Amino acid sequence: MNDRTALLKKIDIPTLIIVLFLVGLFVLAFITGVAVPPLIGDSLRRIGMNGVLVLAMVPTIRSGIGPNFGLPIGIIGGLLGALISMQLGLVGFVGFWVAILLAVVFCLPLGLGYSWILEKVRGQEMMVGTYLGYSIVAFMSIMWLLLPFSSPDMVWAIGGKGLRYTLTLNDYFGSVLNDFMKIKIGSFEVPTGLLLFFAGTCVLVYLFFKTRIGLAIDLTGQNEKYAISSGVNTKKARQVAVIFSTVLAGIGIIIYAQSYGFLQLYRAPLYMAFPAVACILIGGASLNRATITNVIVGTTIFQTLLTIALPVLSQVARGDITEVLRMIISNGMILYALSRAPKEAT
């Protein structure tokens, strides 16, 4: 009994509210007769689709920098990778893996530059990260118009210059992971490949934090002085964390896009950091503690909530209330984390 109350105490109040809300939605789904199985399949797809982006929060949080609000920086790297893969006319898994490979190649220097700036502004990383992310998105919007991409599927039909707002991936690497070993039972679909990829990345990140450099990042985040006295180069540890997070963001957007079926350019990456931050916080992370479990739990709760909410709430309320819900829940969660009194000062 005591253990159970202790567990309850450990769960954040907002997380509890969100879980209760989710349960309420399921109940409502049964009452209104909305078919649940396809929704579950849908929610699985969304978990896999967003999971890697949420995972990208782990390294920076654990290194003491806080959530990576500069996620769009990595996303830009990922988009570049995907675009070049498309321009080369690569399709299927080849296209997918080349995109990932290129994304990593682009994200490494981007992450390096980003980490250099963050190191200069220790203590203000969240805000600076946010606006660096915004800036690079706006800057790349110009580049999308100017870069010499020429595949007719990608550029505007009229004029033949400048990339389109959204690019269809169907003929390239759309859904390659989702369809890999897909299990289909009636209207219930399991995107096995996608989930496997997400699980694989989770395991990799988990193992990474058991290596020496991973542990160095952990030590740096938890107690910088302890880390220094253990011979850790804390600047380098943070640098690795930021680069790792940026690379994960780059991979994450490719996973997202292949599952979504479209590559979204221009302003689309602008606000992608916030739901990812919210996910990991809902999963029980704080601004300086995060685990893989937080990622999986948070992504599951939040994405399931959004999937279920749309059809269920449209039965009782009008129109697309989910977008509003998403805004309130995700930003509310971040606000809660920001305003939480820091634990006992050292």
Partner 1 sequence: MEKILEMRNICKSYYGNQVLTNVNLDLFPGEIHSLVGENGSGKSTLMNILFGMPVIQNTGGFEGEIIFEGKPVIIDSPRKAMELGIGMVHQEFMLLPGFTITENIKLNREITKKNFLSRIFGKSLETLDIPRMRKDARKALDTVGMTTLDEWIPVAGLPVAYKQFVEIAREIDKKNLKILVLDEPTAVLSESEVKGFLEVVRFLSKEGIAILFISHRLSEVLEVSDRVTILRDGFVVDHGPISSFNAISIAEKMVGRKVEILELPKRGKNLDETDVIMSINDLHVLMPGEMVKGFDIDIIRGEILGIGGLAGQGKLGIANGIAGLFPSNGSVYFEDEPFQLNNPGFALNKGIVYLSEDRRGVGLLLDESVEINITATAIQAYGEFMKWLLFLKIYDKKAIRQHAIKMIKELDIRCKSPSQPVRRLSGGNQQKVCLARAFTLKPKILFVSEPTRGIDVGAKKLVLDYLVKMNREKGITIVMTSSELAELRSICDRIAIVSEGKPSAILKPTDSDAEFGMAMAGKFQEVIMGER
Partner 2 sequence: MVKIKNILLSNIVPIVFVVLCVSAIIIADIPINFLVVEIITRITRNSFLVLSLLIPVVAGLGLNFGIVLGAMAGQAAMFFAIDWGMSGVTGLIISCLLATVIAILLGFLSGLLLNRAKGKEMITSMILGFFANGVYQLFFLFFIGSIIPFSTKTMLLPDGVGLRNTVDLWGTLEGVLNNIWIIRMGQYGMIRLYMVPLIIIIVLCLFIFFLFKTKLGQDMRAVGQDMYSSEVAGIDVDKVRIIAVILSTVLAAIGQIIYLQDIGTINTYNSHEQVGLFSIAALLVGGATTRKASIWNAIIGVILFHTLFIVAPSAGNKLFGQPQIGEYFREFIAYAVIAFALAMHGLETKKSMAIQKAK
Q: Which residues bind partner 2 (CB under 8 A)?
A: 69, 117, 120-128, 130-132, 134-135, 137-139, 141-142, 145-146, 161-162, 266, 274, 317-319, 321, 323-328, 331-332, 334-335, 338-341
Q: Looking at beta carbons only, is 126 or 219 nearer to partner 2?
A: 126
- Least separation in angstroms between residue 59's CB and partner 1 is 16
Binding range to partner 1, per CB under 8 A, among 18-26, 90-98, 221-229, 291-299: 221-229
Pairwise CA distance, residues 277 & 280, whole Å = 6
* C-beta pairs of 116-119 under 8 Å, 24+ apart in sequence: 116/239, 118/65, 118/70, 118/238, 118/242, 119/235, 119/238, 119/239
Local structure of residue 155 (DSSP, 8 states): B
Q: 11, 23, 127, 207: which one contacts partner 1 (CB under 8 A)?
A: 207
| Residue 226 binding result from partner 2, partner 1, none, given CB thresholds of 5 to 8 Å by partner type | partner 1
- Least separation in angstroms between residue 102's CB and partner 1 is 22
293 binds partner 1 (CB under 8 A): no
- Least separation in angstroms between residue 203's CB and partner 1 is 11
| Residue 230 binding result from partner 2, partner 1, none, given CB thresholds of 5 to 8 Å by partner type | partner 1
212 binds partner 1 (CB under 8 A): yes
Q: 4, 9, 184, 210: which one contacts partner 1 (CB under 8 A)?
A: 210
> By the 8 A CB rule, do 42 and 191 touch?
no
- Least separation in angstroms between residue 226's CB and partner 1 is 6
Beta-carbon neighbour count of residue 106 at 10 Å? 21
Amino acid sitting at position 260: Y
- Least separation in angstroms between residue 236's CB and partner 2 is 18
Please state the φ and ψ torsions of residue 262, each to the nearest 5 degrees. -135, 150
| Residue 131 binding result from partner 2, partner 1, none, given CB thresholds of 5 to 8 Å by partner type | partner 2
Pairwise CA distance, residues 321 & 67, whole Å = 27
| Residue 207 binding result from partner 1, partner 2, none, given CB thresholds of 5 to 8 Å by partner type | partner 1
- Least separation in angstroms between residue 241's CB and partner 1 is 15
Pairwise CA distance, residues 101 & 60, whole Å = 22
Please state the φ and ψ torsions of residue 122, each to the nearest 5 degrees. -45, 130
340 binds partner 1 (CB under 8 A): no
Pairwise CA distance, residues 248 & 190, whole Å = 24
| Cβ within 8 Å of residue 241, ≥6 positions away | 59, 60, 62, 63, 65, 115, 217, 220, 221
Q: Looking at beta carbons only, is 122 or 289 nearer to partner 1?
A: 289
Q: 223, 236, 266, 292: which one contacts partner 1 (CB under 8 A)?
A: 223
Q: Nearest Cα to 331, choosing from 274, 276, 268? A: 274
Pairwise CA distance, residues 327 & 281, whole Å = 14
Q: 124, 168, 211, 315: which one contacts partner 1 (CB under 8 A)?
A: 211
End-to-end CA distance of the chain: give it in Å, rounded. Answer: 32
Residues lying near partner 1 in the complex (CB under 8 A) are found at 207-208, 210-212, 215-216, 219, 222-223, 225-233, 289, 344, 346
